[in-house]
Chain A
Amino acid sequence: MQTSADFAREIRKTTLNMVFNAKASHIGGAFSMADILSVLYNDILKIDPLQPENETRDRFLLSKGHACTSLYATLGLKGFFDIKELDTYATDGSKYLSHTSHYISGVEISAGSLGHALPVACGLAIASQKKQKTWKTYCLLSDGELNEGSNWESILLAPQLKLKNLILIIDYNKIQSFGFVKDVIDIEPLSKKFEAFNWETYEIDGHNHEELLKTFKACDNQNQKPKVIICNTIKGKGVSFMENKLLWHYKSPSQEEYNQALEELNY
């Protein structure tokens, strides 16, 4: 069986190809969450690519829809659709547009405007709770996205409703649209904020697969609190010259940069 580390490498390579071919943006944020997606889709989520709408499946909602490329890559590699379809990414008439689209097999909701997925995820988690189901709702947010007030409406409510099967993941890559998070709106101390809001809180290295796996498994418990996993990540992780650079929120790689990136990812 493929390890999550190998899977993460494949996700990044597929993502790089999509972004390069389409001259698209947002590769930095797509790479920062690649390890999280890899562990989730390789080892954690109860999902079946052949029955993507099976009622008992775990639900995964990506809120940072601009980083859709690595989610599409993950789903394509897992067989939710023919991976060749990704060659059409961001081209005229393709359903693979540059924000997540619920018209794509395996994508639960469309996202693009920030601060939308967590309230919807709460709705799913409430449904699961009311119907006494065991499936879980995972929701992945960016760090800059925590500027949006709508998220805090959900963060207040989820513990009140004891949404124990809601697992919030923060891709904390420390960079948002205009610069470093700490310089735009510092969200620290983030763990303490969630603890104060009555969430079961974890803070881990979001590129360490062992830690990711262990933490996701630890979230499967009887504690009534919702769970949050703050994943410390690096924007552009996996390609040296993209790492921790605001530029790669926007830039598309040149041919030379593409070659070098591919070489690093193949290494």
Chain B
Amino acid sequence: MRTAFIKELIEEAKSNKSIFLIVADLGFSVVEPFAEQFPDRFLNVGIAEQNMAGIASGLAMEGYNVYIYSIGNFPTLRCMEQIRYDICYHNVNVKIIAVGGGYAYASLGASHHATEEIGMLRTIPNITVCAPGDPEEMRAITRFTSSYHGPCYIRIGKAGEPEVHKKNNKSVPDIKSGEILNVKSGGNVAVFSSGAMLDYSANFISNNNINASLYSFPFIKPIDKNQLVDIIQKYNKIITIEEHQLNGGFGSAILELINDLKESNTLTSYPEIKRVGINNSFYSTAGTQEYLRQLAGIELKLDFFEM
């Protein structure tokens, strides 16, 4: 996904002269092609994320569309107050890119597990929060953020994620703010997948021959309410899945939205909802991303699909 991001950003930067990329000394073997093609719009500020976020805000005030890039918790939690105050309060055009969302850097330990940032960021006014599910979504989100004016957060995986939409004979053309993407249709149960859980979810449904639907939510904030209502009305049960703490994350966003839609009578029925994610815990164990997901309980089970 990170390669998809940088390639698409380079394409956008050819015509969009306002695009500026800042890294905090990370992105080795990823960002170099951008730096080579646009040396005047690239900056490595060193290992200093608070400074990176503040500088991005200043550059954005002068008309740039600034992308800041680092690993997981560094361009997010490390400089959360700069994001809230310098970027979101001033409502400037800064795009925060975190690679290695969730347990992508599993064996590197809790410092590199980005499993809380969505819950924190989505409470902040003015920011759009994105977690694309595959490289095609990543490319669409990059194009979206190139022309969108305002703060955005984009959580991306690492490298080598499969093209899930393509595998399912779908494509993702240009994406609209809050748009929900259908991947599979069928049955009375729908899986709502956030970020890089998409491939796992698609495989679980096909490998087990389950008659169920699958939707990808590249946007966690905002989520298109009209589209959500149309989707929810088709199902008796919703399963949300995310590589994030359960409290405050994507599943929480869905619960809150459904509750509000029900309260305003926009939604007449209340579906059963099963949330899959991390149960507010740290995991200090070596292992692959798949191993840690399993350990943390981020798995679908056959009985979730029974009514």
* Genuine A/B complex: yes
A-to-B contact residues, CB < 8 Å:
102, 108-110, 112-113, 115-116, 118-128, 130-131, 149-150, 153-154, 156-157, 160-161
Name B54's contact: one of A102, A110, A118 (CB within 8 Å). Answer: A118
Q: Please give 20 more A-B residue pairs, beta carbons under 8 A apart, in addition to A124-B62, A126-B55, A150-B50.
A: A110-B90, A113-B81, A118-B54, A119-B50, A119-B53, A119-B54, A119-B55, A119-B57, A120-B61, A121-B58, A122-B54, A126-B43, A126-B58, A127-B62, A127-B63, A130-B41, A150-B51, A154-B54, A156-B48, A161-B43
Name A124's contact: one of B43, B53, B61, B81 (CB within 8 Å). Answer: B61
Contact with A along B81-97 (1 / 0, CB 8 A): 11001100110000000
Interface size on B, residues (CB 8 A): 27
How far does the Cβ of B42 sit from chain A's closest Cβ, in whole Å? 11
Contact with A along B20-53 (1 / 0, CB 8 A): 0000000000000000000011010110101111
B59 lies within 8 A of A116 (CB): no
B48 lies within 8 A of A120 (CB): no
How far does the Cβ of A45 sit from chain B's closest Cβ, in whole Å? 17
User: Is B74 an interface position by the 8 A CB rule?
Assistant: no
Contacts of B85 in A (CB 8 A): 110, 112-113, 116
How far does the Cβ of B85 sit from chain A's closest Cβ, in whole Å? 6
Write 20 A-B pairs (CB below 8 A) sorted by A numbering: A112-B85, A113-B81, A119-B51, A119-B82, A122-B51, A122-B54, A122-B58, A123-B54, A123-B61, A124-B61, A124-B62, A125-B58, A126-B59, A130-B40, A150-B54, A150-B82, A153-B48, A154-B54, A157-B45, A160-B46
Provide the bound-state CA to CA distance between A134 and B304, in Å. 64
Q: Interface on chain B toward A: helix, strand, loop, or mixed SS?
A: helix
How far does the Cβ of B235 sit from chain A's closest Cβ, in whole Å? 45
A123 lies within 8 A of B62 (CB): yes
Closest to A133 in B: B62
Contacts of B59 in A (CB 8 A): 123-124, 126-127
User: Is B276 an interface position by the 8 A CB rule?
Assistant: no
User: Is B64 an interface position by the 8 A CB rule?
Assistant: yes
A154 lies within 8 A of B51 (CB): yes
Contacts of A108 in B (CB 8 A): 61
Name B58's contact: one of A102, A115, A119 (CB within 8 Å). Answer: A119
Contacts of A131 in B (CB 8 A): 62
Contact with A along B55-85 (1 / 0, CB 8 A): 1111111111000000000000000011001
